[in-house]
Amino acid sequence: MQSSTATAGVAGVPHRPQVAAHFASLEVQNHAARLGMWLFLATEILLFAGLFVIYANYRFLFPEAFALASRELNLNMGTFNTLLLITSSFTAAMAVHYAKEAKNKQVVLMFVLTILMALGFLVVKYFEYSHKFHEHQLPGPYYAFPGLTLPGASAYFTIYFLSTGLHAFHVVIGMIVLGWVTLKAMRNEFSHHNYTAVELGSMYWHLVDLVWIFLFPMLYLI
Amino acid sequence: MSAMANESFKEDREMRQEHHSGPGKYIAVWGALMVLTLVTVFTGKMHIETGALALALVIASVKGALVALYFMHLAEHQGASRVVFITSMLFVVLMLLFTLFDIGTRFRPALPNAATPQEWPVETRGQSGRYGGGLKAPGTNPK
Amino acid sequence: MSPSSSIAAEPGAVPAPDEHHEHHPSYLVDGTTLKSWLLTLDHKRIGVMYLIWVLLFFLIGGIYALVVRLELLTPGPTIIDAMTYNRAFTMHGVVMIFLFMIPAIPGAFGNFMLPLMLGAKDVAFPRLNLLSLYLLLTGAVIAIWGMINGGMDTGWTFYTPYSTHTTTTVAPILFGAFIIGFSSIATGLNFIVTTHTMRAPGITWFKMPLFVWAMYATACIQVLATPVLGLVLLLVVGEHLFHFGIFDPAQGGDPVLFQHLFWFYSHPAVYIMVLPSFGVMSEVVATFSRKNIFGYRAVAFSSLGIAFVGFFAWGHHMFVSGQSTFNAGVFAVLTMLVGVFTAIKVFNWVGTVYKGAVDFKTPFAYFCGFLYFTVFGGMTGVAFATASLDVPWHDTYFVVAHFHFIMVGATIMAFMASIHYWFPKMFGKMYHEGWGLVSAAFIILGFNATFIPQFLLGNAGMPRRYYEYPERFQTLNVASTAGASLLAFGFLISAIYLTYALVYGRRAASNPWRSRGYEWMTESPPPTHNFVGPQPTYPEEPHFYVEPKKAEVPDAV
Amino acid sequence: MNELLNNILFLPEQASTFAERVDRLHYFVISVTMLSSLVVGTAAVFFFFRYRRRKPNQATEYVVPSVKTEFLFVSLPLFFFLTWFVIGFRDFVFVSTPPKDAMDVYVMGKQWMWKFSYPEGPNGVNVLHVPANRPVRLLITSRDVLHSFFVPAFRIKMDAIPGRYTQTWFEATKPGTYQILCTEYCGLSHSKMLGEVVVLSAEEWDAWVKEQRKGALQNRQDALADLSLEPHPARMAEQGQKAAAEVGCFKCHTVNGEPHIGPTFLGMYGRTETLDNGRNIRVDEAWITQSMMDPGAHLVAGYPNVMPTFQGKLTGPQTAAIVEYIKTLRTPDIRTGASQGPTYEPIQ
């Protein structure tokens, strides 16, 4: 969101981005964009914080149910997804590195890899979800899993679906953002002077990773 | 011009210097993250009685710190970005603490009664410990 | 730069025209098409559009308030039935809080003044700024659509499980509030980045005017608290539609947890509403008593202090909600700190007038009202925070009176003060001073007459959100309604003479108040790019009215 | 003095031990508040006149506070605020920790009435009898949404949360009748959810209890409620059936599962119905009550909007009884509502 305002109007001037009229210099403009992005990420962190608080509260109240319910999740799929997301985060970081060196082809490659891994993450998530639907391990009143009838089990699955669902939504948004930056990289736009869009896009992706790093042990490992 | 917003120039310098360090750092961080993931899965599978959650959270925090510091470049630029990130984390922690204080110290019968699609769990330790203090589950009332 | 040159430049400081352009049209006439307004990226035009919209929302909320007050004229049904009444007070709260209080001062005056005070050409992200306005309007449209198609009867606090079970239209209104949250975040984010990166040469952090400090603190709260509200609103909508059971006790959920999450936003939101008014009043008191702010750093830091501690005082809304006694103690003592920070501000404002040169104009009249309301309203807030006094007062009219003393008494006083103070700046016209003072008198007296009886009603034990009430409360209710009509009359006078001034008012000087504020150092109304030609040098200190020869030796009191 | 302040502040009479404590703090806080508003206001007004502007471009002296002044600005309010906190929190702990020898009364709020029951009986609606000069612990819960139990004369208040218990206590100091109000917004008739506490002297209390336990019906509690002393759901259902027959529910609603002009009552409670606006709702007390009072508001899909309103034709207890009756017509696969909560057993 910020990157779009900050680096607008770059098309046609490949190696020197335009400074918007109200900024004193390019450095200030980049700084503003980056700070804006950090603030935006802070809002994302607090958005997920609400879910973490709900999780912590119910886990405190129903420890056994949560421990048993977490074992209903597929740990292998979860681990695989974690490794996938970390690797995608790594490729996103590498994209920033290449963008600074003006290697636009490598930037494209890295982002395409990232997006593919994000897609893989969602596919695995789809299989996990469909299994849960099949087992009726569903939120609140829709929960009808005979294998686990402790109080709190349905709350666990409510939180599971809410938090992974919200996270998956962010994955999709992240894919769109990265796709947009990839298109810019295909037009050879990035250089030593102009890599803010890459940096901000990848920062968003790292946040998606960061959230998952906490969600994973919370939901799968306890 | 030079007097203007020194913050911006400092950060710009830091960002530019950083790229000389090469991709080695990213690979090292990536490796560390992979290893830590496997470690946390391994310790998670052991189902340790006490401190399993604390251990998992410590590992997750280390991983999160690595991502924030190196992938998100917090290690290189100080200033406002860092304050923003740390403040948001602090607020998350405080929000957690205050709500947990509440349910940890609340009048016990005022805690959620754990209704699920099933009957009230007569056999769980719920009523004697957590739901003690004068109130009991249906069916266990001696009168 | 020496202070003397800043004085020389002061009365009607119009910088020398730029050599390339002879004439710089003011932002008001630079482009007259509808499109040039609706799609503008100019922070000043966005500010003016915000002002128009929040005034409209204020009118809507005010009409709801009058309906509520009229209904309470008699103990039984008066003009509407119970369901309509319940919807009316809910809508009064929702409109006033989400559509008026939160965007009013930041959206209208923050947008207009912040870049001018920092000597910037615009805010950091002008498009985001425009987007925030349209997000507000989108949210408002969705919410108002919901109000027309059924309305909501939960009270603005949306407490579960009532809000998840009521048959009224909860979903669109909460979703509207959710979108308005994004608007609030966008404004806050923009202000923080603007303050960090757009300051003109020479403006260090401790040379920023106190209005900027207040807006900065407000923006921090907006950015950090609003996402939590967003999540909570989504969860309540989800509960209402799908009955997840996160907050619904019938399914094992915890409504007290809802209250925690809700007040984690909504208590800091009180400071989103009130901190900007502190900022405005710091400007007004300095300008109209021509005096440096008594303890500048104390006031600046107390804004940040309120923003921080304000986050960890939310539990004082929950003393009788089943929260633990231990938590009640923790939140009670943290609330006291907010009181201390506010007290520092109040003392410093009074100290600012000391040895000043007071010119009793309309904004200053509002400052007087504000000072009294803030002290009284704030101290009753501290009284609530003692925990034991909250037990009889909780959810009675005492609470209603208390927060109206802060919301109306501080925020609306500041809103009215800023309209009058910056009217010549924004529109280049002057309002009629005599009528200004008359309407200020009506508003301040009418406000007292409305809410002092409500304090007493609360003492007597009348709960809030009551459609009918026992007869013994009638006298005080009639008094309150009478006061409310006085208050409405005051606003009506303001609306008339301000509209008149907008059209027929006499041309104002560039700096009619002879203020040393940086926003006054350009023309009024300002040209599109704010400053023409070489940027005026920033004064030695903000709010600096000292004679140069005396500036050397400060008097310590 | 006490009396005078009470009148000035419009406070209701003090009828409990807590009321006396909390009012003392109230007087202290309010007088300091008024005094400080006055001092700040007077100082400000004095400055406005003393330091009027004399010429338009007047310069002023540069005055900044010394550290001592700043310290005073911080410490003076802090001192008062912390003192109040200490007193206030002590009182708060007092009111939130019932004494061990307190007598237990269970309080249930429901839309829109209060039910009271004593561990050994009897139950009652809207009127709570308690002895004077004896601590009474209230264990408060709710059937549907949040309510809040408030007795102004006792200065006590506590929210009622469905499915769990909150507690508060009081010790009434003088016999008399005091009003109970609901202070947590709970829907349409929130303002009608009134009740009263009848405080009896020790002898009267003994007599009252004795009579209650005998099963006599001629006191005002039963006159109001008329459903105590017997297992009340059953009795209420019986009355509900009678009332439903009287007002003519069965002309349109069957109880054997067949749809007629209106949906059948069998299994209605807890069923998920599709409404004519396409929404799904789970039938609960609130919906049934609303359908009796405003039938067109949420019509079940497939049925004509022909039902008249029963607003004013049914009394509150009758409505509650019909709801209770419909609830007994549950089909066996529907689980019992979790909001019933645990049963109680008095603390020892």
Q: Chain B interface, mutation test: which of C222, C254, C318, C334, most B Cβ atoms within 10 Å?
A: C254
Q: Is D9 exposed, middle or buried (0-12, 13-18, 19+ CB in 10 A)?
A: middle
Rg of chain D over CA atoms, in angstroms? 28
Q: What tokens does C157 get?
A: 């606090």
- In sequence order, what are the beta bridge partners of C555? D63
User: Mean pLDDT throughout C540-555?
Assistant: 68
Calpha distance C366→C441 (Å, rounded): 9
User: Of the candidates D202, D180, D186, which has an alpha carbon nearest to the alpha carbon of residue D116?
Assistant: D180
Lowest-pLDDT range of B14-18, C422-426, C457-461: B14-18
User: Of the candidates C290, C430, C260, which has an alpha carbon nearest to the alpha carbon of residue C362?
Assistant: C430
Which residues of chain C lie closer than 8 angstroms to A159, CB-CB?
Answer: 246
Q: Chain D interface, mutation test: which of C4, C156, C162, most D Cβ atoms within 10 Å?
A: C162
Q: Are residues B37 and B52 in the same domain?
A: yes
**What number of other Cβ atoms are within 10 A of residue B54's Cβ?**
10
Encode burial over D14-43: b for 16+ CB neighbours within 10 A, e otherwise. bbbbbbebbbebbbbbbebbeebbeebbeb
Structural domain of residue B53, as residue ranges? 1-78
Check CB contact of C127 with chain A, cutoff 8 Å. Answer: yes
Assess if residue B114 is contained within a domain.
Answer: no
Report pLDDT for C542: 86
Report pLDDT for B113: 54
- D105 sits in which H/E element: strand D103-110
Assess if residue A53 is contained within a domain.
Answer: yes
Check CB contact of C205 with chain B, cutoff 8 Å. Answer: no
How many Cβ pairs closer than 8 A exist between chain B and C?
71
CATH number for the domain that contains residue A31:
1.20.120.80
Q: Which residue ranges make up each domain of chain C?
A: 41-530
Q: What tokens does A1 get?
A: 């969101």
Assess if residue B142 is contained within a domain.
Answer: no
Q: Are residues B95 and B53 in the same domain?
A: no
Q: Are residues B46 and B30 in the same domain?
A: yes
Assess if residue B95 is contained within a domain.
Answer: yes
Contacts by D267-271, CB closer than 8 A, 24 or more apart = D267/D329, D267/D330, D267/D331, D267/D334, D268/D326, D268/D329, D269/D326, D269/D327, D269/D329, D269/D330, D269/D334, D270/D330, D270/D334, D270/D335, D270/D337, D271/D334
**Which residue in the set C252, C292, C325 is minimally distant from D62, CB to CB?**
C292
Phi and psi at D170, nearest 5°, equal: -155, 160
**Which residue in the set B87, B106, B112 is minimally distant from C249, CB to CB?**
B112
Domains and CATH numbers, chain D: 2-53+63-96 (1.10.287), 103-225 (2.60.40.420), 232-335 (1.10.760.10)
User: Of the candidates C402, C417, C218, C234, which has an alpha carbon nearest to the alpha carbon of residue C304?
Assistant: C218
Structural domain of residue A140, as residue ranges? 24-221
Q: What tokens does D266 get?
A: 């069998």
Q: Who's near C202: CB < 8 A, 6+ residues apart?
A: B3, C537, C538
Alpha helices by DSSP H, listed for chain A, are 2-6, 26-61, 63-70, 75-100, 104-135, 153-186, 196-216
CB contact under 8 A, B107 and D165: yes
Shortest Cα distance from C507 to chain D (angstroms)? 19
Q: Are residues B14 and B64 in the same domain?
A: yes
Q: Chain B interface, mutation test: which of C197, C199, C261, C308, most B Cβ atoms within 10 Å?
A: C197
Tell me the CATH class for C41-530: mainly alpha
The nearest alpha carbon in chain A to B35 belongs to A83
The nearest alpha carbon in chain A to C121 belongs to A22
Q: Are residues B52 and B90 in the same domain?
A: no
Q: Who's near C543: CB < 8 A, 6+ residues apart?
A: C209, C210, C282, C283, C286, C287, C291, C292, C293, C296, C516, C517
CB contact under 8 A, A36 and C189: yes
Shortest Cα distance from B110 to chain C (angstroms)? 6
Q: What tokens does C371 get?
A: 């000072």
Assess if residue B117 is contained within a domain.
Answer: no
| Contact of A178 with A206, CB cutoff 8 Å | no
**Which residue in the set D166, D339, D344 is minimally distant from B107, CB to CB?**
D166
Per the listing, tokens 């530019």 go with B16
User: Of the candidates C509, C513, C383, C386, which has an alpha carbon nearest to the alpha carbon of residue C455?
Assistant: C383
Which residues of chain C lie closer than 8 angstroms to D97, CB-CB?
Answer: 325
Per the listing, tokens 């007047």 go with D58
Identify the three-state secondary structure at position C169.
Answer: coil
Window 70-129 of B: residues touching A by CB (8 A cutoff) are: 70-73, 80-81, 84-85, 87-89, 91-92, 95-96, 99-100, 103-104, 111-118, 120-121, 124, 126
Q: Give the number of domains in chain B.
A: 2
Check CB contact of C415 with chain B, cutoff 8 Å. Answer: no
Which residues of chain B lie closer than 8 angstroms to A60, CB-CB?
Answer: 100, 103-104
What value of ipTM does the predicted structure carry?
0.86
End-to-end CA distance of chain A: 35
- Sign of the dihedral through C-alpha A67, A69, A71, A74: negative
Hey, which chains touch A, using 3+ CB pairs under 8 Å? B, C
Shortest Cα distance from B49 to chain A (angstroms)? 11
Calpha distance D225→C321 (Å, rounded): 28
How many percent of chain A have pLDDT more than 70? 92
CB contact under 8 A, C224 and B4: no
Q: Chain D interface, mutation test: which of C386, C545, C550, most D Cβ atoms within 10 Å?
A: C386
Assess if residue A3 is contained within a domain.
Answer: no
Q: What is the pLDDT of residues C6-53, one digit of tens each?
A: 333 444 444 444 444 456 788 888 888 888 899 999 999 999 999 999
User: Mean pLDDT throughout C191-216?
Assistant: 92
User: Of the candidates C371, C318, C323, which has an alpha carbon nearest to the alpha carbon of residue C345?
Assistant: C371
Encode burial over C7-29: b for 16+ CB neighbours within 10 A, e otherwise. bebbeebebeeeeeeeebeebbe
Lowest-pLDDT range of B48-62, C386-400, C473-487: B48-62
Report pLDDT for C433: 93
Check CB contact of D334 with chain B, cutoff 8 Å. Answer: no
Weakly modelled stretches of chain A, pLDDT under 70? 1-18
CB contact under 8 A, D163 and B112: yes
User: Mean pLDDT throughout B84-96?
Assistant: 92
| Averaged pLDDT score across all residues of chain C | 89
Q: Are residues B71 and B88 in the same domain?
A: no
Angle CA B46–B48–B50, to nearest 5: 170
Q: Who's near D29: CB < 8 A, 6+ residues apart?
A: C379, C382, C383, C386, C389, D84
| Contact of C231 with C201, CB cutoff 8 Å | no
Identify the three-state secondary structure at position C80.
Answer: coil
Q: What is the pLDDT of residues C297-320, one digit of tens each?
A: 999 999 999 999 999 999 999 999
**What number of other Cβ atoms are within 10 A of residue C52's Cβ?**
9
How many percent of chain C have pLDDT more than 70? 94
Identify the three-state secondary structure at position D109.
Answer: strand
Calpha distance C66→C79 (Å, rounded): 11
Q: Are residues B23 and B87 in the same domain?
A: no
Q: Are residues B57 and B27 in the same domain?
A: yes
Query: What confidence category does residue C339 fall into, taking pLDDT thresholds of 50, 70 and 90?
Result: very high
Q: What tokens does C237 get?
A: 């909508």
Assess if residue B119 is contained within a domain.
Answer: no
Phi and psi at C512, nearest 5°, equal: -65, -25
Q: Are residues B19 and B54 in the same domain?
A: yes
Report pLDDT for D235: 66
Q: Give the number of domains in chain A.
A: 1
Q: Are residues B89 and B133 in the same domain?
A: yes
Which residues of chain C lie closer than 8 angstroms to D339, CB-CB?
Answer: 249-250
Calpha distance C174→D298 (Å, rounded): 21
Distances (CA, A) of B68 to A33, A204, B72: 18, 11, 5
Calpha distance D149→D138 (Å, rounded): 10
Check CB contact of B135 with chain D, cutoff 8 Å. Answer: yes
Pairing state between β D63-64 and C555-556: parallel
Q: Who's near D136: CB < 8 A, 6+ residues apart?
A: D102, D103, D104, D105, D130, D169, D170, D171, D172
pLDDT tens by residue, chain D, 348 residues: 678 888 888 999 999 999 999 999 999 999 999 898 888 888 888 888 889 888 888 888 888 888 999 999 999 999 999 999 999 999 999 999 999 888 888 888 888 888 888 877 677 788 888 999 999 999 898 888 899 999 999 999 999 988 888 899 999 999 999 999 999 999 888 998 988 899 999 999 988 888 777 654 444 444 444 444 444 555 677 778 778 877 778 767 877 666 677 787 877 777 777 787 777 777 877 788 878 877 777 778 777 777 777 777 777 777 878 887 887 776 544 333 333 333 443 333
Window 37-56 of B: residues touching A by CB (8 A cutoff) are: 37-38, 40-41, 43-45, 52-53, 56
User: Mean pLDDT throughout C94-106?
Assistant: 94
Identify the three-state secondary structure at position D138.
Answer: strand
Q: What is the pLDDT of residues C212-242, one digit of tens each?
A: 999 999 999 999 999 999 999 999 998 888 8
